[in-house]
Each structure stands twice: as C-alpha cells, then as structure tokens.
Amino acid sequence: MATTDLSYYDKATIPNAKKFRFGIVVSEWNPEITHNLYLGAKKAFIENGAIAENITKWDVPGSFELIYGCKKMIESQKVDAIIAIGNVIQGETKHFDFVCEGVTQGIKDLNVIYDTPVIFCVLTDNNKQQSLDRSGGIHGNKGVECAIAAIKMAALREF
C-alpha cells in the first residue's frame, strides 16, 4: 500500500513546462481509473506552465496497446515526453502477470530505443479499490506524480 500522497510535490523544484509539448496515451480499459489519472496529469501539467494546446491525448483499447500508441506518438508527434496511462487489476488467471510484464518491458524498451521519455503510469493493483485510491482517492493521484516526472524528464532532454 502506498504510504505517501501521490499528488504531493514541491512546485518550487519543478521546471516551468511552458516550452514543452507532452503526449498522454490512455487505456480505455477501466475508464473510471484511467480517466482520473489523465485528469490528474493534465491538471499538473497546466499548473506547472504547460499550454493546454501542447498536450496531446490519444486513447488505446487497453494497457498492452499503450506500447504501440506511445511508439506511434513518438514517431509522428513532436513531444518532449509521454505518459502511458493504464490500469491492470489482478484477476483469477495469469493474464495479469503477462500484461503487466509486457507493458513494463515495452515501455522500458521505448525509453532505451527512443530519445523521448515515456513515463510509466500503469496502476497494477490487487483490486479496484486500490486503483481508485491511487487515481484521486485517499493516496492521491498517480497521474500527478507522473506528470511531474514527465516535466523533469523533458527538461533533462535539453542537456
């Protein structure tokens, strides 16, 4: 269980995001979770200077499709960082393990192959309540945390 507020950050330590372009690729699976993560990310971008028109959102069917969606966004859009937003909840089969492993490795591969950072914002929880708690509930919003990471990584690209 998360013991910190995922939405907390020290705004004084965050670069201004005004000059950056961001991509957000969002899984349509578990939309009540992924939409809240998206809203948290977008709000954090705007609060830190990003221009709304410089935030591109694409939807994909599920978390496994995030990899291809992010790849296509890197190749076709001029973005400084991307957030991959998804949610996988443990079920009764090994499907959870396969999806989580594939998405994790796929996003890692994108970060190795391309010069555009892809931020992992895929909640992999044991139950829906844990996902709700981390998408704007009692533990804050992981989307906010990932937007802050995206801003920092976009700034790092400039070195």
Per-residue pLDDT tens over the stretch 7-27? 999 999 999 999 999 999 999
* Beta-bridge partners for 55: 22
- Name 55's Cβ contacts closer than 8 Å, sequence gap at least 6: 21, 22, 23, 24, 42, 45
Answer yes or no: CATH 3.40.50.960 is held by domain 19-156.
yes
Average pLDDT value for the chain: 96
Ramachandran category for residue 31: left, alpha or beta (phi over 0 → left; psi -120 to 50 → alpha) = alpha
Going by DSSP bridges, is the β-strand pair 81-89/135-137 parallel, antiparallel, or unpaired?
Answer: unpaired
Per-residue pLDDT tens over the stretch 108-154? 999 999 999 999 999 999 999 999 999 999 999 999 999 999 999 99
**What is the reported pLDDT for 158?**
87
Q: Which two tokens stand for residue 41?
A: 């990310």
d(CA 48, CA 139): 21
Residues catalogued as catalytic? 95
d(CA 140, CA 134): 6
Give the domain ranges of the chain. 19-156
